[in-house]
């Protein structure tokens, strides 16, 4: 496909409430959007990197630089026949997976529009609806934590994930379980524990959690496998899984029994599908994680979640949980049964509110195709 121009822009979007994890608190998102024009269409991508290199090494500033200096010129010159060719085009650049994903996913969006089919179908998705959970940040008090759980259950969400860390774990699980003995409940430590916390983590088994997400180091498989041996509760890996090979290693070593797939973390839709397939072939369920995305990243997460092995509720939630006003139309809504309907219209299935995007833009750059031929 012929790529005419690539635009980068940064938006600032305040969250409706602060989101606290074991690594920090986010009150406002800096959103890096990629817009790719070609063949008479516009594909959109979102870079999910954080404001700080706390979840991973990338930030939106490193992504901006690498897209501008390396990835976008390479893509513009490559004329890819299919979005699935992007990893090959980006191969020379090591790492920077969130930067790569922003571009690759915009190309998938563009290709789906060119072909006149839903993005979900182009990715190989078959589900008509996806099951939704929520990730609830660490709260200032236990009382507030319980109120948040109550609110999200009332909204219909099928699974509650509690962010945890040393000092904010068992007493919270206990309070939530006492009040709601039967809900699907999980926790996510974002690497907050160390090996000598193992005895403590084993006590989480008492609370019948669906999974314990990324308890140990963000780059570890071996010690997670030691921990998993001692636990009845499945470990789920998020940060540790960067690609298909990592998924294979983790499954083979029994470091986890569930995998969280995030497009950005693995470098784009191609690798996300490869991780999904590798897990499926080995009987390991996956679910789609979230990175506090705007509507564009959210639309992409919905499309990805329509693949068959996304059999557990994901962290893909309604726009209004994050934003006063989302940058897509319609906004993402979750039904009272806790599902999102996968759009059946061509492309991402949600219009980008370009006027609003323009208004919120604080920085922009255009990268022209280095036209050869």
Alpha helix (H) ranges present in 155-261? 170-179, 198-202, 222-230, 244-252
Stretch that binds ligand OSB, among 3-11, 111-119, 251-259, 289-297 (CB under 6 A): 289-297
Q: Answer yes or no whether residue 315 interacts with ligand OSB by CB under 6 A.
A: yes
Q: Least separation, in Å, of the C-beta of 302 and ligand OSB?
A: 12
Q: Which of 308, 309, 298, 293 is nearest to 340 (CA)?
A: 298
Instruction: Note if 359 is an active site residue.
Output: no
Residue 264, SS3?
A: helix
Q: Which of 109, 238, 246, 326 binds Mg ion (CB under 5 A)?
A: 238
Q: Answer yes or no whether residue 289 interacts with ligand OSB by CB under 6 A.
A: yes
Strands (E), 110-182: 129-131, 133-136, 159-163
Q: Which residue minimizes CB distance to ligand OSB?
A: 290
Chain Cα centroid distance, residue 154: 24
How does 207-224 read in b/e, with b if 16+ C-beta sit within 10 Å?
bebbbbbbbbbbebbeeb
Per the residue annotation, which of 163, 165, 229, 359 is the catalytic one? 163
Tracing tokens 């600032």 back to the chain, one arrives at 12
Tokens in use for 314?
């994901």
Burial of residue 247 (CB within 10 Å: 0-12, 13-18, 19+) is buried
Per the residue annotation, which of 262, 320, 324, 359 is the catalytic one? 262
Q: Least separation, in Å, of the C-beta of 290 and Mg ion?
A: 9
> C-alpha distances in angstroms, 52 versus 61, 362, 363?
9, 18, 18
- 267 interface partner picked from Mg ion, ligand OSB, none, CB below 5 to 8 A per type: none
Starting from the edge strand earliest in sequence, which strands make up the sheet with 41-47, in order? 41-47, 24-38, 5-21, 361-368
Nearer to Mg ion, 152 or 238 (CB): 238
Q: Least separation, in Å, of the C-beta of 177 and ligand OSB?
A: 20
Stretch that binds Mg ion, among 188-196, 220-228, 245-253, 341-349 (CB under 5 A): 188-196
Q: Answer yes or no whether residue 291 interacts with ligand OSB by CB under 6 A.
A: yes
Q: Least separation, in Å, of the C-beta of 183 and Mg ion?
A: 19
Alpha helix (H) ranges present in 18-141? 60-66, 72-78, 86-90, 97-115, 119-123
Categorise residue 24: left if φ over 0, alpha if ψ from -120 to 50, beta otherwise: left
Q: Which of 149, 256, 279, 292 binds ligand OSB (CB under 6 A)?
A: 292
Q: Which of 109, 152, 169, 188 binds ligand OSB (CB under 6 A)?
A: 188
Q: Answer yes or no whether residue 105 interacts with ligand OSB by CB under 6 A.
A: no
- 291 interface partner picked from ligand OSB, Mg ion, none, CB below 5 to 8 A per type: ligand OSB
Q: Answer yes or no whether residue 188 interacts with Mg ion by CB under 5 A.
A: yes
Stretch that binds Mg ion, among 70-78, 84-92, 204-212, 230-238 (CB under 5 A): 230-238
Contact 111, 122 (CB under 8 A): yes
Stretch that binds Mg ion, among 156-164, 235-243, 318-326, 337-345 (CB under 5 A): 235-243
List contacts with ligand OSB (CB under 6 A): 55, 135, 188, 190, 238, 289-292, 315, 317
List contacts with Mg ion (CB under 5 A): 188, 213, 238
Which residues are tagged catalytic?
Answer: 163, 262
């Amino acid at each position: 496909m012929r790529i005419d121009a690539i635009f980068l822009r940064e938006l600032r979007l305040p969250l409706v409430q602060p989101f606290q994890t074991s690594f920090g608190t986010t009150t406002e998102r800096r959103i890096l959007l990629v817009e790719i024009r070609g063949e008479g269409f516009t594909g959109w991508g979102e870079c999910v990197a954080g404001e700080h290199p706390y979840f991973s090494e990338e930030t939106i500033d490193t992504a901006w630089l690498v897209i501008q200096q390396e990835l976008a010129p390479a893509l513009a010159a490559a004329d890819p026949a299919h979005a699935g060719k992007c990893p090959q085009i980006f191969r020379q650049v090591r790492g920077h997976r969130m930067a790569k994903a922003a571009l690759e996913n915009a190309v998938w969006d563009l290709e789906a529009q060119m072909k006149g089919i839903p993005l979900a179908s182009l990715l190989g998705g078959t589900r008509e609806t996806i099951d939704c959970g929520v990730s609830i940040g660490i709260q200032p008090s236990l009382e507030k934590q319980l109120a948040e759980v109550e609110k999200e259950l009332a909204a219909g969400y099928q699974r509650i994930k509690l962010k945890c860390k040393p000092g904010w774990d068992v007493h919270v699980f206990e309070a939530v379980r006492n009040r709601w003995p039967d809900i699907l409940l999980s926790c996510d430590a974002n690497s907050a524990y160390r090996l000598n916390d193992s005895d403590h983590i084993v006590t989480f088994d008492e609370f019948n959690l669906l999974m314990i997400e990324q308890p140990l180091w963000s780059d570890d498989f071996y010690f997670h496998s030691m921990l998993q041996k001692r636990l009845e509760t499945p470990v789920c890996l998020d940060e540790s899984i960067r690609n298909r090979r990592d998924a294979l290693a983790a499954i083979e070593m029994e470091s986890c029994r569930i995998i969280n797939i995030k497009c950005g973390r693995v470098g784009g839709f191609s690798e996300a599908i490869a991780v999904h397939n590798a897990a499926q072939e080995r009987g390991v369920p996956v679910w789609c994680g979230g990175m506090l995305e705007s509507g564009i990243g959210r639309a992409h997460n919905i499309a990805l979640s329509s693949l068959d092995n996304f059999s557990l509720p994901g962290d893909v939630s309604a726009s209004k949980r994050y934003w006063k006003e989302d940058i897509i139309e319609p906004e993402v809504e979750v039904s009272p049964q806790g599902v999102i309907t996968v759009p059946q219209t061509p492309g991402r299935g949600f219009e980008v509110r370009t006027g609003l995007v323009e208004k919120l833009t604080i920085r922009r750059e255009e990268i022209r195709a280095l036209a050869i031929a």
